[in-house]
Amino acid sequence: MNVLPDTRQPVRTDRPRLLLVYPATHKLGWVRRFQLPSFSLTLVAASTPPEWDVVLADELHEDIPFERAFDAVGITAMTHQAVRAYQIADRFRARGIPVVMGGMHATVLPDEALEHADTVVIGEAEPVWVRLLNDLKAGQLEQRYSSVPSGDTLVTPWARREILAGRKYLTTQTLQASRGCPYDCPFCTVTPYFGRSFRYRDPEDILAEMRTFDRKLTVLLDDNILGDPERAKPILKGMAGLGLRWGGQANLRFAEDPELVELLAQSGCIGIFVGLESVAGAHANHPKTGSRYSQADLIKRVRDAGIVLEASMIFGFDDHDESVFESTIRYLEDCRPSIPTFNILTPYPGTALFRQFEAEGRLLHKDWQRYDHSQVVFRPKQMTAERLYQGWVAARREVYRWPSIFSRVMSGSSSYFTNFAYNVLRRGGVYGEDVCSHAPQNNQQLQLGDIQTNTRGA
């Protein structure tokens, strides 16, 4: 880990200095080069008045400059980053430097965040940021600054990507075309953060920003870029001539519209992430996942268009018993997404699921750094916590065996190399991590033999 060099942002004593911090929960080594930068902090930087000098400290890439002089420190954090964010905040406040906390966790638990910060931004920072900094300079800082989204139009500044210079990311060409989601899943943090509104930027503004990109690889960070097909289509049509190669996230129902699939391919989309969530039960028939078409048919439409499709499944819903691991693997063998992803159900603060499990006394703890969808933090209804964890481990290893990978790759009609590369990278994450470090205590081992390992079609 390197110390942030002074030469990157020279000290100018005649100007106020703002440090923006992205906390890291653990060291990633070379894998950090495949990470994306904090998009929210580039927007905060873009919203900062020009008289401020802005310095970014991404702890994945450098040490936090605790001993340098700043007039204010802004820290963003998701729930799993909250503990580290609080540690950073406490050190700066001990030196008398005002700290602003924002992001998902501070939005849903502002009282907790205020134990470690001078003020908290609840919701989106851009609408309140200038007022907050002016109040700070005037010595009139309030404890809370809140923005409530309204309407269906999103207006944001263009991200200040130059503050990312000197670090190696997968790409710095990230943006949001929309915010929010038309669905309100009980386990999802999108609605608690962005409200029930679903807003798109003006297509011309999006395309104008994209035309400034000097590289091909781009990532759209929308929670559901295709959630409103009629508003998404003008964006996709405009992207078709830009020569970009991009990935994003949507729900699978977009593939019901053949025109939308064709536009997606023509726009340069090389990969799309979709949440299938569950193979059976209430979450398999949610408006987001239910369709008059089979999921296998919709997945085939996307893959036939040359687009890598990553399908995410969640283990641990109340209607899941121990059979869910094998049934999910077999279901995905039939559907054949390019890449399967398995997550453990996590009741994030602010969600309906968290309120339910807290009321039922089913939360095992509130150690936020373990709320990362790869650890069991609640008491499942139809299996033990240990069984849920070990079943998740075994299922991931099963779908990333070499025969499983080759079967998925060859089932597509194109993009064999891209599909294979994605799968190899994911296999490295599955087989290269220390799964025992995340296991619940007194775990009950679940061997691969407990799940049928003969992958059909392999």
Do 416 and 371 reside in the same domain of the chain? Answer: yes
Across 159-170, average pLDDT: 95
Contact by Cβ (8 Å): 382, 428: no
The predicted model gives 68-94 an average pLDDT of 98
pLDDT of residue 450: 34
Indicate the number of domains in the chain: 2
Looking at the chain, the whole-number percentage of residues with pLDDT higher than 90 is 76
Average pLDDT rounded to a whole number, residues 452-456: 29
pLDDT computed for residue 189 by the predictor: 87
More confident residue, 343 or 428: 343
Which residue in 313, 269, 276, 310 sits closest to 291, CA to CA? 276
Q: Is 235 helix (H, G, I), strand (E, B) or coil?
A: helix
Tens of pLDDT along 361-373?
999 999 999 999 9
The whole-angstrom separation of Cα 341 and Cα 347 is 18
Indicate if 128 and 233 belong to the same structural domain: no
214 shares a domain with 109: no
Cα separation, 239 vs 226, whole angstroms: 14
Asked whether residue 59 falls in the same domain as residue 175, the answer is: no
pLDDT in tens, 239-295: 999 999 999 999 999 999 999 999 999 999 999 999 999 998 877 776 667 778 899
In a domain, 458, yes or no: no
Among 91-100, 138-147, 263-272, 434-443, which stretch is predicted with the lowest mean pLDDT? 434-443
Least confident of 7-16, 95-104, 344-353: 7-16
Residue 458: per-residue pLDDT: 25
Q: Are residues 292 and 257 part of one domain?
A: yes
139 with 105, same domain?
yes
Give the pLDDT of residue 433.
60
Whole domain around residue 16: which residue ranges?
Answer: 2-146
Among 52-56, 131-135, 291-295, 439-443, the least confident range:
439-443
CATH classification at residue 174: 3.80.30.20
If you search the block for the tokens 């209804």, which residue do you land on? 381
Answer yes or no: do 233 and 201 share one domain.
Answer: yes
The four Cα atoms 132, 135, 137, 141 give a dihedral, to 10 degrees, of -90
pLDDT at 196: 73
User: Looking at 95, 118, 146, which one is the last position of a domain?
Assistant: 146
- Please report whether residue 113 resides in a domain: yes
User: Which among 309, 239, 315 is positioned nearest to 271, based on CA atoms?
Assistant: 309
CATH number reported for the structural domain that contains residue 70 in this entry = 3.40.50.2300
Mark whether 125 and 167 lie in a shared domain. Answer: no
Nearest CA among 94, 95, 42 for reference residue 69: 95
Mean pLDDT of 346-351: 97
Query: Is a pLDDT exceeding 70 seen at residue 38?
Result: yes
pLDDT at residue 61 is higher than 50: yes
Q: Within a 10 A sphere around the Cβ of 162, how many other Cβ atoms? A: 11
* DSSP three-state, residue 72: strand
Question: Is 7 a residue whose pLDDT tops 70?
Answer: no
Q: How far is CA 129 from CA 70, 140, 250, 330, 379, in A?
A: 17, 14, 30, 49, 40
The Cα–Cα gap between 245 and 388 comes to: 37
The answer on 292 and 253 residing in a single domain is yes
pLDDT tens across 395-452, in order? 999 999 999 999 999 987 767 888 898 899 889 889 876 444 455 543 333 333 333 3
Check whether 391 has a pLDDT greater than 50. Answer: yes
Position 29 scores a pLDDT of: 65
From residue 358, how far is each of 147, 354, 362, 366 by CA, in Å?
27, 6, 6, 10
* More confident: 141 or 12: 141
Residue 50, classified by CB atoms within 10 Å of its CB into exposed (0-12), middle (13-18) or buried (19+), is exposed
Q: Is the pLDDT of residue 357 over 90?
A: yes
**Which of the four pLDDT bands, split at 50, 70 and 90, describes residue 21?**
very high
